[in-house]
């Protein structure tokens, strides 16, 4: 059994954040596929919540007899445990992780889900979330001006966190990237890192393609 075990499914950018961190760190890990889409969804069953996580969400990382949920917590734990991807300014790192959870991944993940997996989404709601995504991208574009990564010249877990949905096929989040050259270059830097794999190559389990 691998030292790290990750409950996950391939369409989840939250799961991809943790899997990417593990892959880039070069550690052995095992993916445990969670059936999120079929039926009522495995994470929403009382049995799963009692056994794995009361929050009914993935990712969940098992390590040394303890389960941790919420990607920001998991990334922080892995950074401390592995000695990897730590910013010199940990407060600034946390600030960007919180921005990601509230504004960047939050809006991008919801917009992507509405486009690809929701049944008959309201066009006005879809348009609202696209606008929010564009606003969040402009913030990151400005932050990356003159920097290779969010807090300076080296990647930290805040960078890993914000990368969560950026490596899925662009057909799933059709944002015109010509207006975000700094973000595009930042994505490219991650793709060039040793150990990098895109989400559908890295995360286990059968896919549920967009509608």
Domains of the chain from N-terminus onward: 4-84+196-202 (3.40.30.10), 90-191 (1.20.1050.10)
pLDDT of residue 188: 98
Question: Structure pTM?
Answer: 0.96
207 and 10 Cβ atoms separated by less than 8 Å: yes
Alpha-carbon distance 46 to 168, whole Å?
30
Strand ranges (E), the chain: 4-8, 29-33, 60-63, 66-69
The predicted structure's pLDDT at residue 81: 97
Tens digits of residue pLDDT in 19-58: 999 999 999 999 999 999 876 689 888 898 999 999 989 9
Mean pLDDT taken over the chain: 96
Q: What is the pLDDT of residue 56?
A: 85
pLDDT in tens, 75-115: 999 999 999 999 999 999 999 999 999 999 999 999 999 99
CA distance 78 to 59: 13
pLDDT value at position 48?
A: 85
Residue 165 burial (C-beta neighbours within 10 Å; 0-12, 13-18, 19+): buried
The model's pLDDT over 145-191, given as tens digits with 9 standing for 90+, comes to 999 999 999 999 999 999 999 999 999 999 999 999 999 999 999 99
Q: What is the pLDDT of residue 39?
A: 67
């Amino acid at each position: 059994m691998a030292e790290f075990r990750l409950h996950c499914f391939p369409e989840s950018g939250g799961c991809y954040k943790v899997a990417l961190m593990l892959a880039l760190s070069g550690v052995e890990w095992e993916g445990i596929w969670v059936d999120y889409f079929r039926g009522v969804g495995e994470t929403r069953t009382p049995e799963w919540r009692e056994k794995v996580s009361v929050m009914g969400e993935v990712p969940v990382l098992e390590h040394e007899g303890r389960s941790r949920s919420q990607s920001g917590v998991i990334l922080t734990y892995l950074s401390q445990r592995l000695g990897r991807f730590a910013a010199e300014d940990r407060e600034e790192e946390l600030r960007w992780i919180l921005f990601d959870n509230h504004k960047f991944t939050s809006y991008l993940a919801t917009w992507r889900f509405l486009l690809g997996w929701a049944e008959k989404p309201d066009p006005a709601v879809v348009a609202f979330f696209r606008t929010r995504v564009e606003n969040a991208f402009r913030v990151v574009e400005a932050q990356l001006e003159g920097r290779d990564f969010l807090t300076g010249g080296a990647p930290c877990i805040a960078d890993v966190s914000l990368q969560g949905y950026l490596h899925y096929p662009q057909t799933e989040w059709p944002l015109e990237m010509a207006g975000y050259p700094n973000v595009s270059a930042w994505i490219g830097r991650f793709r060039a890192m040793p150990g990098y794999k895109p989400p559908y190559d890295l995360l286990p389990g059968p896919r549920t393609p967009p509608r």
